[in-house]
Amino acid sequence: MRLSIFAGGMVAAATLLPGLATSYLDRPKTESAEAKPQQATSTAKYAGGKGVLLEPSAGGHFFGTFTINGRKQDGLVDTGASVIAINISTARRLGVSTGSLPFNAPVSTANGTVKAARVTLDRVEIGTISVRDVEAMVLPDKSLSGMLVGMSFLNKLSSYRVENGALHLTR
């Protein structure tokens, strides 16, 4: 069975904005604050729980600094990705043991089909939101330069929506 975890968002992004994820995730740390991933710009109590607000980047995309298994990692929120996607180098920094992972899941990406490994992340956090046991895929470094935060995280929230141009996450 072939997974098409990036069929929507990444193909569209790659078609319309070639190199978006790669250029964002590989950029030098000296770029302007406008292009940097955003910490949760505000937290609020919503009727159903805790909330985080992410303002869009200059290009209209939502980037954030997530904490995965206790370690910080910048990521692009991508509703077109079925799961969180990380490359091998990032997985190692996040404490995922990659040595014995079976890279046997064919995954369609904006750069073609690659073999990925399924993993479960113990905890994914942003701002006041914390989610446990989140499915992710580990891809070769050449296929992805960092992390995409997909539906395996978003579906564990009570809601997510874009309102007045900002992404609202609620747990």
At 141, is the secondary structure helix, strand, or coil? helix
Q: Please give the single-letter amino acid code of residue 169.
A: L
Residue 77 lies in a domain: yes
Read off the pLDDT of residues 143-163 as tens digits, 9 standing for 90 and up.
Answer: 998 899 999 999 999 999 999
For residues 94-121, average pLDDT = 93
Residue 2 lies in a domain: no
The beta strands (E) that lie in 21-111 are given as 42-46, 49-54, 63-68, 71-77, 84-87, 105-109
Residue 51 lies in a domain: yes
Domain span at 80: 9-26+35-170
Residue 1 lies in a domain: no
End-to-end CA distance of the chain: 32
CATH of the domain at 93: 2.40.70.10
Residues 6+ apart with CB under 8 A from 133: 120, 121, 122
Q: Is the pLDDT of residue 11 over 70?
A: no
Residue 3 lies in a domain: no
Instruction: Identify the weakest region by mean pLDDT among 22-36, 98-112, 119-133.
Output: 22-36
Element (H, E) at 24: helix 20-25
| Angle 107-84-103 from CA coordinates, rounded to 5° | 40
Quote the pTM value.
0.75
Residue 117 · residue 137 · CB < 8 Å:
yes
Residue 65 lies in a domain: yes
Please give the pLDDT value at position 148: 96
Please give the pLDDT value at position 112: 87
Please give the pLDDT value at position 135: 97
Q: Give how many domains the chain has, as a whole number.
A: 1
Read off the pLDDT of residues 45-56 as tens digits, 9 standing for 90 and up.
Answer: 444 457 999 999
